[in-house]
Amino acid sequence: MKKKVMDLNSIKKVNRSVLLNILRDHGAMSRKDIAAISGLSPGAITIIATEMLNEGILKEAGLEERNGKAGRKKILLKIEKTHKFILGINIEKDTTTIAISDLNLTILSSKELATNANVMPENFLNEIIDNIKDLLWKLDISKGNILGIGVGIVGKVDPNTGKSMEAYGIWNKEVDLGGFLSKSLKLPVVVDNNVRSLAMAEINCSKRKNIDDFVFIKHGPGIGAAIVINKKLIYGSENQAGEIGHIIVNSDGPQCSCGQKGCLEAVISTRRMKKTVQMAFDKSTTPILHRLCNGDKGKINTSLIFSAYENGDPYIKKIIDDNIKYMATGIINLMKTLDPQRIIFFGELFKYESLMKELINQIEQMLCKESIKNKIVTSCLEYKCKAIGPLALALERLFYETGAIYK
């Protein structure tokens, strides 16, 4: 008897999840059209929709445009974007970003803090918790209106337990992020690697472009990738699939924070790039950068380095072209292994036209002139808020996958 109840509950969950996903992918829709797409009967959709309207998850959104056709207009349904709010935390080597959004992933507020790797992880997490409480207080949102928390962090993560196994360059030990945050804030928490979380947000916008298989590459401050096949993230046996940052591109290369030598990340991180540029910085070697910085070495940042490249600073061009060559090598290896529909780039570097052109040139040269232009695109995600990935992760795992059934 108990088993039957369980089964009915899981059917309900699946049906609600199907309905929510249809509304996400197609926008406002009538009950009849939802039924046609879902394969469920119109009667079943009416029952599910009524339940979700009563719970405030859906709302009625006016009448369908009929283009002069006769007959009764159908009432459209849509997801109530303020039914719940989401908290997102993105932890990277230098900065941690906290944000709150609605169910459309529109950011209501966000805050950046310096990632403090010099204290016990619990102490830094308490600092994050204080900031979250402050954010909720300022927006006058109660905890009851929060769907849950998504956390994205660099390095090895076990999404099943919510543990950060090794956050390279931040903590060199296992940290139970999910357990600590859910216990302290009494909210559901989902945790994943930061690049995979971002790829989750990318899946949302790629769906509309019919891209099912892609490799998502993030550059700055390190380099990481996430593999998406058939719209699903690939994890691997130890949740390390897509760790492009730690493939070895030069076995005599510099020491990486993961312990290996000559990892792609150790060679082309923005930190290393900045250091190399700082060492060479002077009026005659890097004239354009020197002018852009008004001669002040302290002002050097990635934006100025990339601008100097764009403006033809010869030494900067040499340094960055070397970086791009290593990056191209890593990308080709991934392309040859996975043969994805697209390679999607995320990061400041890819916003510069001449840098993208150089990267494509280098890849094509190594591939013996095979054209890859139609395979390479830049991300459709906003660069403004780094917590967009963790927000999308929580939305997927705690809303769309659960059919908005909260325990």
Contact indicator for 179, 164 with CB cutoff of 8 Å:
no
Taking the complex as a whole, the smallest distance from the CB of residue 168 to Zn ion amounts, in Å, to 7
Helix (H) or strand (E) holding 111, with range, is: strand 107-114
Taking the complex as a whole, the smallest distance from the CB of residue 265 to Zn ion amounts, in Å, to 6
Contact indicator for 308, 292 with CB cutoff of 8 Å:
yes
Taking the complex as a whole, the smallest distance from the CB of residue 263 to Zn ion amounts, in Å, to 3
Q: How far apart are CA 382 and CA 379, in angstroms?
A: 8
Q: Is 184 in the site for Zn ion (CB under 5 A)?
A: no
Cβ nearer to Zn ion, comparing 156 with 317: 156
**x/- map, 95-134, Zn ion, by CB under 5 A:** ----------------------------------------
Q: Is 260 in the site for Zn ion (CB under 5 A)?
A: yes
Total length of the chain:
407
Cβ nearer to Zn ion, comparing 145 with 255: 255
Enumerate the H helices of 27-149 as residue ranges: 31-38, 42-54, 121-139
Q: Is 258 in the site for Zn ion (CB under 5 A)?
A: yes
Q: How far apart are CA 286 and CA 191, in angstroms?
A: 43
Taking the complex as a whole, the smallest distance from the CB of residue 327 to Zn ion amounts, in Å, to 15
Cβ nearer to Zn ion, comparing 113 with 258: 258
Is the omega angle on the peptide bond into residue 188 within 30 degrees of 0, that is, cis? no
| CA-based radius of gyration for the chain | 24
Q: How far apart are CA 130 and CA 263, in angstroms?
A: 36
Taking the complex as a whole, the smallest distance from the CB of residue 222 to Zn ion amounts, in Å, to 9
Paired sense of beta strands 85-91 and 58-63, if any: unpaired
Q: How far apart are CA 136 and CA 395, in angstroms?
A: 18
Q: Which residues contact 198 (CB under 8 A, 6 or more apart)?
A: 152, 216, 218, 226, 346, 379, 381, 388, 389, 392
Q: Is 301 in the site for Zn ion (CB under 5 A)?
A: no
Q: Is 248 in the site for Zn ion (CB under 5 A)?
A: no
Determine the residue type at 330: G
Q: How far apart are CA 154 and CA 395, in angstroms?
A: 20
Number of residues in contact with Zn ion under rule CB under 5 A: 5
Q: In whole angstroms, what separates CA 215 from the centre of its chain?
A: 12
> For Zn ion, which residue of 83, 246, 325, 375 counts as binding (CB under 5 A)?
246
Q: Per CB under 5 A, which region of 61-69, 255-263, 283-291, 349-357 contacts Zn ion?
A: 255-263
Q: Per CB under 5 A, which region of 226-234, 251-259, 352-360, 394-402 contacts Zn ion?
A: 251-259
Taking the complex as a whole, the smallest distance from the CB of residue 258 to Zn ion amounts, in Å, to 3
Q: Per CB under 5 A, which region of 98-106, 238-246, 274-282, 312-320 contacts Zn ion?
A: 238-246
Q: Per CB under 5 A, which region of 13-21, 105-113, 257-265, 295-303 contacts Zn ion?
A: 257-265
Cβ nearer to Zn ion, comparing 218 with 246: 246
Q: Per CB under 5 A, which region of 112-120, 232-240, 254-262, 300-308 contacts Zn ion?
A: 254-262
Q: Is 36 in the site for Zn ion (CB under 5 A)?
A: no
Paired sense of beta strands 376-378 and 342-346, if any: parallel
**x/- map, 152-171, Zn ion, by CB under 5 A:** --------------------
Question: Which positions lie near Zn ion, rule CB under 5 A?
Answer: 246, 256, 258, 260, 263
